[in-house]
A and B are shown apart, each in its own frame.
Chain A
Amino acid sequence: MTVRTASDSTPTAQPASARELVLEVRDLSVSLRNADGLLPIVTDVSFSIAEGEAVALAGESGCGKSITASAIMGIAPDNAEISGTIILNGAAISGLPHRERRKLCGRHMGFIFQEPMTALHPTLTVGRQMTDTLRHNLGLSHAAATDRAAELLDRVGIPRAREILKGYVHELSGGMRQRVMIALAISCGPSLVIADEPTTALDVTIQAQVLDLLDEMRREFELAMLFITHDLELVGDFCDRAVVMYAGDVVERGRAADIVRSPAHPYARGLIDAMPRHGDQRARLTPIPGTVPPVGHWPQGCRFAPRCSRAGKKCTVRPPLAVHIRSDVRCWYPLKVGQ
């Protein structure tokens, strides 16, 4: 069998339609510099997102999802060494100096954090946080920025917007805080929004509302959305395409619906089997044995092999990301459809 190595020209790396690409990430690697030298965190991540498209970045905690997002955003820690190419709206931004990267934040890229309680300033009013952003990025006057902030809060479904603007974050419920966070992230009209587990910290009942809101915003403003999650069920409902990461590697990449229905990588299969399914009370959950190896202790060869039931002789060599039935898979023994 000849292995076709997946590249950006393979169909699954690209969005299906011919819409304008907003974000292209090519061979993004992140290492952290510490006393012992460089510690690789993320290796050779490539994907792209088109206008109005939602792409999931899925995997367990510690797989490098969040650091990938902060590297794209340009807010990675100071000791992070980043290589590879990041293209935003057709322009390579990965080589830009720090100061220039910062200027893209807010205006071209919005970020929604996991914990709206700690991600919003505790002692500044909601209004001040929003108008600071609007005034700095769009050069609005104070009055215009306040009006715009009220409109935005109104748009994300916050009642009594003018009053909320004068209040503080601790006066709001979790769901309301996340709505404020969303309003803040989209306030300056970005083309890309990165949402880092935006519903993980919320009550289940609120989660659906916030997801609906994000979906609505994506459609209305044609946003390219990178949706970071560990919940593959959400991925199927909410995203067009998915990138599954394990221990800093992309292990499967393709259409979200395909991956959720019939994953080809044993890790993606494991993630799906480990999730409770609605309406199926007889099915037992199957946990993936073991845990994600800590950074710096990745196995040689396939990084998932020690936890994999299908591991074989070949797995001592790191598999390439190769085209398999419908998705790109980094596995020597990928699963067949329905397996």
Chain B
Amino acid sequence: MLRYLLKRFLLILPTIFVPLIIVFLLLRLSPGDPAGMMLGDQATPEQIEALRTQLGLNEPIWVQFAIWLKGILTLDLGNSIFFREPVMEVIPRYVSVTVLLTIVALILAVAIGITMGLISAMHRNKPIDRGVVAMAVLGISLPEFWFALLLIFVFAVTLRWFPVAGYNPPSAGLIAFGATILLPAIALGVRQSALMTRMMRSSMLDVLNEPYITTARAQGLPERKVIGSYAMRTAAIPVVTVAGLAAGYMLGGAVAIEIIFALPGLGRMLVEAVSRRDYPLVEGGVLTISLILAVLNLVIDVIYAILDPRIRYQ
């Protein structure tokens, strides 16, 4: 198991560096100039040139890359051009929102997906099953931003149960935090829960046909245990895959939801940093996301290895 972990860990490095190099090059190839953005329309070409030199933007591109790479290795990602403070201090403020949102949305999605998928499989081809499958198709088809607006309209504007937008950190109290995170988490999680419902249903139906389930029954184990333990253990494996993909998607792509609910998250920060040509902050943001995704993949691999011992030996 330890060797397996080490092997997986070494594979993380290329996963992180390839996107970094691509983003670094794309930023410098794209039009727009951070110095010009910072100084505004009134700046003279001399002033802009002076700032460019100060920021190191006049160096050859590989020198800039080397300097930046050195920064990463010494945990210094430079200063944000817009915020004028270290990137290492800006990013954590935004990461926590995105990670918390993802965790809440993922818990909702997994809980709903597994429950509904299980109910559906247990009542195969009966009205309950058809109802659940229809709901899942609807859930997969709904655009997230539209569903988010619908949730705001119903629960925030009409019923006034939740604030329309904004964010309270968990330090403000669990209820205050929950009130601002629940609607975005539902909006973000509903599509994923629909995907997991379908995955859970079909993998459970497959597993129930496996001979080892018949063996468990022939051993006299009660149906509760046969389904809940023997069948679940193998049926859950594909759901873990979907959950991993969902987590990756939520961490990197929750921009629309963050903007609609005015959440200060990583996705929104990145979009704004790109439009400001804030090179260090964009690079820092991409580094953060690739790091999170790499760690996430590692976690998923470990969960696989725990759920399915056969994987460890391959």
Contacts and interface: CB of A to CB of B under 8 A. Distances in A.
With a 10 A CB-CB cut-off, give which of B214, B219, B308, B310 has the most chain A CB atoms.
Answer: B219
B225 interface: yes
Contacts of B206: none
Contact of B212 (A107, A109, A111, A120): A120
B307 interface: yes
A122 interface: yes
Nearest to B306: A123
B220 interface: yes
Contacts, number: 78
A133 interface: yes
A118 B211 contact: yes
Given A123-B308, A124-B230, A106 B218 contact: yes
B76 interface: no
Interface residues of A, number: 29
A42 interface: no
Interface in B175-227: 210-212, 214-223, 225
B288 interface: no
Interface of A: 73, 75, 102-107, 109-111, 113, 115, 118-124, 132-133, 136-137, 168, 170, 181, 184, 188
B4 to A, nearest CB: 15
27 contacts: A75-B214, A75-B217, A102-B217, A102-B220, A103-B220, A106-B219, A107-B220, A109-B218, A111-B215, A113-B211, A118-B212, A121-B230, A123-B233, A123-B234, A123-B308, A123-B310, A124-B230, A132-B229, A133-B221, A136-B219, A136-B220, A136-B225, A137-B219, A168-B309, A170-B313, A184-B219, A188-B220
Nearest to B215: A119
Contacts of A106: 218-221
A54 B233 CA distance: 36
Given A106-B220, A122-B234, A170-B313, 18 more contacts: A75-B214, A105-B219, A106-B221, A107-B220, A110-B218, A113-B215, A118-B211, A118-B212, A120-B215, A121-B212, A121-B233, A123-B234, A132-B219, A132-B221, A132-B229, A136-B219, A136-B222, A184-B219
A152 B221 CA distance: 19
B214 A121 contact: no
A121 B207 CA distance: 11
A110 B217 CA distance: 11
A123 B220 contact: no
B88 to A, nearest CB: 42
Please name the 3 residue pairs, one residue from A and one from B, whose CB atoms are nearest each other, closest first: A106-B220, A105-B220, A111-B218
B293 to A, nearest CB: 27
A111 B214 CA distance: 10
A181 B218 CA distance: 12
A133 B219 contact: yes
A142 to B, nearest CB: 15
Contacts of A109: 218
A97 B252 CA distance: 53
A121 B232 CA distance: 12
A133 B230 CA distance: 12
Contacts of B221: 106, 132-133, 136
Contacts of B308: 122-123
B257 to A, nearest CB: 36
Contact of B216 (A118, A121, A181): A121
B309 A123 contact: yes
A107 B309 CA distance: 30
Given A121-B230, A122-B212, A102 B222 contact: yes
Contacts of B313: 170
B240 to A, nearest CB: 12
Contact of A73 (B210, B212, B218, B230): B218
Contact of B307 (A105, A113, A123): A123
A130 to B, nearest CB: 9
A119 B230 CA distance: 12
Contacts of B220: 102-107, 133, 136-137, 188
A188 B222 CA distance: 15
Contacts of B310: 122-123, 168, 170
Nearest to A184: B219
A75 B218 contact: yes
B238 to A, nearest CB: 13
A77 to B, nearest CB: 10
Contacts of B216: 121
Contacts of B215: 111, 113, 119-121, 181, 184
Contacts of A110: 218
A105 B218 contact: yes
Contacts of B210: 118
Contacts of A105: 217-220
Given A132-B225, A168-B309, A168-B310, A119 B214 contact: yes
A325 B215 CA distance: 40
A132 B309 CA distance: 19
Nearest to B124: A78
A312 to B, nearest CB: 43
Nearest to A107: B220
Contact of A113 (B214, B223, B309): B214
Nearest to B226: A102
Contacts of A170: 309-310, 313
Nearest to A73: B218
B283 to A, nearest CB: 42
A111 B225 CA distance: 18
B304 to A, nearest CB: 11
Contacts of B230: 121, 124
Nearest to A120: B212
Contact of A119 (B211, B233, B234): B211
